[in-house]
A and B are shown apart, each in its own frame.
Chain A
Amino acid sequence: MVQIEIDEDACVGCGSCVEDCPNDVYEMDEAKNKTKVVNLEDCMACLSCHEICPAQAMEHQDIHVAKRLYIDRKVNYALDRII
């Protein structure tokens, strides 16, 4: 089953994930001003929260990771040599 880890040090408390999640998986912890997972069972691992989070503060574990055939391996190889 999916597990979601929130890096509380990284989370900036913007609430973007709370607004974006269609299944209300997240909620704001008002005391800490951080996001928290409240409805893990309904997470469908669409990873919209990853895309919207400005701090990349969350990690999904044990999910189906979609194929990423759009990645250009030659470009990645070239970037690896530069960066």
Chain B
Amino acid sequence: MEIEEIRGTFKPELIPKETGGDLDDYEDALHVLMKFMGSMSSALEQVSGRGANAIVYQAGKRMGHESAKMMEKTENLEKALDEMGDVLGHEFYFEKWKPSGQSSYTTQEGDQVVIKLLFMDCVVRQTLRRTGLPQKGPLCYLLYGYMVGAVEEVMDIKGKIDIDHVGPNACLKTLTITWSGK
């Protein structure tokens, strides 16, 4: 395939208005990044073993704290999750989920509140499928970290997330927050 070179005049500008590419260029860039991420993830796992999960989790957590800094602080978990849904956007599109026999989304277990989240659109899952890597690996920890970091930032509380089930179209996760864990 022939590579098209872009030639033109370039002047210094504060905020570039043109990207100099089209949808195909975005797609190519995305796929290269997906392959790069997948390769990094498997290499990290090969070198660090289970420590890879902790590294990626920490990176995600930092991103989560950073993203949620501008969000309104609240002690209401459902309100916090609604707000986080807007921040995470369509690339990590999630909804609250409950089994049909349960009356509310949240359940109280001692000083812990538990809620199930269904992640439908996830760039991590797409990256794993692009690179042929299994789900629940180190790269999934990026999203756990991200969610936990954002919850901690918004609610000023300790949180953790566990995977219940992974699928090709959606993943079910359990978010647990501990009230005494400030």
User: Is there a chain B Cβ closer than 8 Å to A19's Cβ?
Assistant: no
Are the CB atoms of A68 and B100 closer together than 8 Å?
no
Shortest CB–CB separation between residue A50 and chain B, in angstroms? 7
**Bound complex: CA A73 to CA B172 (Å):** 29
Q: Which of B6-14, B43-51, B71-79, B126-134 contacts A (4 or more CB under 8 A)?
A: B126-134
Question: Given A64-B120, A69-B30, are A45 and B127 neighbors across the interface (CB < 8 Å)?
Answer: no
Interface size on A, residues (CB 8 A): 22
User: Is there a chain B Cβ closer than 8 Å to A67's Cβ?
Assistant: yes
**Bound complex: CA A44 to CA B45 (Å):** 30
Shortest CB–CB separation between residue A82 and chain B, in angstroms? 16
When distances are taken between beta carbons in the complex, the residues of chain B under 8 Å from A73 are 27
When distances are taken between beta carbons in the complex, the residues of chain B under 8 Å from A63 are 169
User: Is there a chain B Cβ closer than 8 Å to A46's Cβ?
Assistant: yes
User: Is there a chain B Cβ closer than 8 Å to A48's Cβ?
Assistant: yes
Are the CB atoms of B172 and A46 closer together than 8 Å?
yes
Question: Given A70-B34, A70-B126, A73-B27, are A46 and B171 neighbors across the interface (CB < 8 Å)?
Answer: yes
User: Is there a chain A Cβ closer than 8 Å to B157's Cβ?
Assistant: no
Are the CB atoms of B168 and A67 closer together than 8 Å?
no
Are the CB atoms of A66 and B123 closer together than 8 Å?
no
Among the interface residues B123, B127, B130, B167, which one has the most CB atoms of the partner chain A within 10 A? B167
**Bound complex: CA A73 to CA B93 (Å):** 23
Are the CB atoms of A45 and B169 closer together than 8 Å?
yes
Which of A16-61 touch B at CB < 8 Å?
22-23, 39, 41-42, 44-48, 50-51
User: Is there a chain A Cβ closer than 8 Å to B122's Cβ?
Assistant: yes
Shortest CB–CB separation between residue A5 and chain B, in angstroms? 16
**Could you list which residues of chain B lie within 8 angstroms of chain A, going by C-beta atoms?**
27, 30-31, 34, 90, 93, 97, 99-100, 118, 120-123, 125-127, 129-130, 164-172
**Could you list which residues of chain A lie within 8 angstroms of chain B, going by C-beta atoms?**
22-23, 39, 41-42, 44-48, 50-51, 63-70, 72-73
